[in-house]
Each structure stands twice: as C-alpha cells, then as structure tokens.
Amino acid sequence: KQEVTQIPAALSVPEGENLVLNCSFTDSAIYNLQWFRQDPGKGLTSLLLIQSSQREQTSGRLNASLDKSSGRSTLYIAASQPGDSATYLCAVSGNNRLAFGKGNQVVVIP
C-alpha cells in the first residue's frame, strides 16, 4: 500500500521568504505526482503535475521536483506572499487512483 508523508505538517514564514515543502512516498512505481492547493473550506486545485519520467515542473513562482528512486518530491514557492497561505497536498498516482499525503499547512506572515 502506497504511503505518502508530508513534512512539516505546518509552518509559518515571513513574507518574501522561499517556501520548501517536502513529500515522500514508499512505492516508487508511480505514474505521476501532483501538488494541490486547498484553501480553508474549499476544494482542491491542482498546481503542478510531474510525470514519472520528468524531474521537475515549473509554473510561475512554483517549482516541483521529483526523485522517483528515493521516493521524494519537493515543492518550492519563491518569494512567498500572504496569498500563498493555504494547505498544500501531495498526491501520487498508480493503479487508477491517487494516494494523498496529509498536507503542509502554510501561513505566510505579512
């Protein structure tokens, strides 16, 4: 059974600092990995999807890396803003389903 772990569970950073969120998974036989954002009381919004053959994916201030062999992914958010405050979820796909981590709850302090 795929286990997905996200560390740290919660963090606060001052505005302008770079954010680094970590995700690890136990089974490296994944199809791809996604990072989602969830605002309080809302659904999930897909931020980045990295195919298993890729090493990283970038969108604006967001960059996600994937190291399948070590079972790790990192989400970098450059120059954080208060609007980046949210919960970030990592999910790995395989066997026609997604396995989610518990999330990184981020607060960016103005």
Partner 1 sequence: DAGITQSPRYKITETGRQVTLMCHQTWSHSYMFWYRQDLGHGLRLIYYSAAADITDKGEVPDGYVVSRSKTENFPLTLESATRSQTSVYFCASSEPGRADEQFFGPGTRLTVL
Residue ranges in contact with partner 1 by CB under 8 A: 4, 31-32, 34, 41-46, 49, 89, 91, 93, 96-98, 100-103
Question: What residues contact 53, with CB distance under 8 A and at least 6 apart?
Answer: none
| Nearest distance in Å: CB 36, partner 1 | 8
CB 37 within 8 A of CB 88: yes
Q: Judged by CB, which is closer to partner 1: 69, or 96? A: 96
| Nearest distance in Å: CB 60, partner 1 | 20
Q: Judged by CB, which is closer to partner 1: 42, or 55? A: 42
Neighbours of 53 (CB within 10 A): 8
| Nearest distance in Å: CB 32, partner 1 | 5
Closest of 63, 36, 34, 35 to residue 51, by C-alpha: 34
